[in-house]
Amino acid sequence: MLDLRFVRENPEIVKQNIRNKFQDEKLPLVDEVIELDAKNRAAKAEGDQLRASRNKLSKQIGQLMGQGKKEKAEAVKAQVTANAARLAELEAMGAELEARITKIMMTIPNIIDPSVPIGRDDSENVELQRFGEPVVPDFEIPYHTDIMKRFDGIDLDAAGKVAGNGFYYLMGDIARLHSAVIAYARDFMIDRGFTYCVPPFMIRSNVVTGVMSFAEMDAMMYKIEGEDLYLIGTSEHSMIGKFIDTITPESELPKTLTSYSPCFRKEKGAHGIEERGVYRIHQFEKQEMIVVCRPEDSSMWYDKLWQNTVDLFRSLDIPVRTLECCSGDLADLKVKSCDVEAWSPRQQKYFEVGSCSNLGDAQARRLKIRVDGEKGKYFAHTLNNTVVAPPRMLIAFLENNLQADGSVRIPEVLRPYMGGKTALVPKN
């Protein structure tokens, strides 16, 4: 969410930013919120005058009564009553204006970083860099669920009966591999100085609206019926929410946390064959990283965060690339974002396995996450990035480590988490 004063003083910058995000339908909101703000400030000014007048008139009443001037005192009392009625009217008007202003301000997108490429949607995202050599083996690589079935490692049919489409049972070596990847990612981030955390898996509505846009909320979140609670779509939500309405001494920044959680997402819409299996699902587990820092440090932390994910995937011998998200593909709260994509030897292309985002002070402004610095209090910057999110990550792992004999090689760094195994041997 932008600073209202910034919008008031820089309407053309805000409008051009909206155009850059191809959201022209939001352009009238800028003038509307400026007009509402002017009315609200005028109402507050009149209210302040009435409160000052009330104190002065109250003193006059006492003086007039002491002088025996009852009629004049009654006239002043009538004025106080009229002022009180007007003040109540102004306060009600102010509350309504504040609500309308807040709703609009939460709809106007954040100002994107100047380095963000201008594009309408994800088809115009820009490749930045590749890490590792993509390899296409000289043997056929089956679809990922077919690989898992060779190890008796997945049961989609039973999951469909129990919970419906978009759910799964992982079993045996595949389930163990899933847990091993999560445990390795946890320790990987702890070794990089991040504090490990297991957060709440449900959050209240004020946290939801604090960490994401209304469009994201509708597309992602599951609401708990009869409760002011939502299932988290990522632990970023509850991890950023941890700092709601806090003032952190600047000396304690940055806050660097890595969190484990299950994640729940609606994943609305139809998807192609490559997004079936365990690629696009309603429930998965994830290791996340978040940073709360000074504004001048957020760009540096952004680069560190995506590099962490690249380094983790390369340690598992999976080639990856980074992809800069264009303006039209950025969620409204984001200043800058890039996807980390893993190489798929079967498809002979890259696919998304993580996303790194700098949100500037948008979340902090909504949730009142402040910093107490030498020059006074200010809003922190917040960032987040996926460390690893199996089972989607397992697709990349299985394809890139599949051997010609059907076994799956276990990279050295993962072997301690797999009981020392160097390979998985298929049962079928």
Helical pair 172-191 and 392-401, crossing angle rounded to 10 deg: 100
Please tell me the predicted confidence (pLDDT) of residue 213: 82
Please tell me the predicted confidence (pLDDT) of residue 8: 96
Q: What is the mean pLDDT of each run of 10 residues along the chain (428 residues)?
A: 95 98 97 97 91 77 72 78 87 94 95 97 96 95 96 95 93 97 98 98 95 83 94 95 98 98 80 66 95 98 98 97 97 96 97 96 97 96 97 94 97 97 94
Are the beta carbons of 236 and 220 closer than 8 angstroms?
no
Question: What tokens appear for 173 in the block?
Answer: 């070596």
Give CATH for domain 4-105: 1.10.287.40
Please return the burial class of 367, using the count of CB atoms within 10 Å of its CB with bins 0-12, 13-18 and 19+. buried
In 3D space, the residue among 210, 207, 202 whose CA is nearest the CA of residue 264 turns out to be 202
C-alpha distance across the termini of the chain, in Å: 54
Measured in degrees and rounded to the nearest 5, phi and psi for residue 258 equal -125, 130
Question: What tokens appear for 150 in the block?
Answer: 């060779």
Ordered by start, the domain boundaries in the chain are: 4-105, 122-424
Measured in degrees and rounded to the nearest 5, phi and psi for residue 264 equal -130, 125
Whether the link from the prior residue into 117 is cis, omega within 30° of 0, is: no
Give CATH for domain 122-424: 3.30.930.10
| 291 Cβ contact partners less than 8 Å away, ≥ 6 residues apart | 254, 255, 256, 257, 298, 301, 305, 382, 383, 384
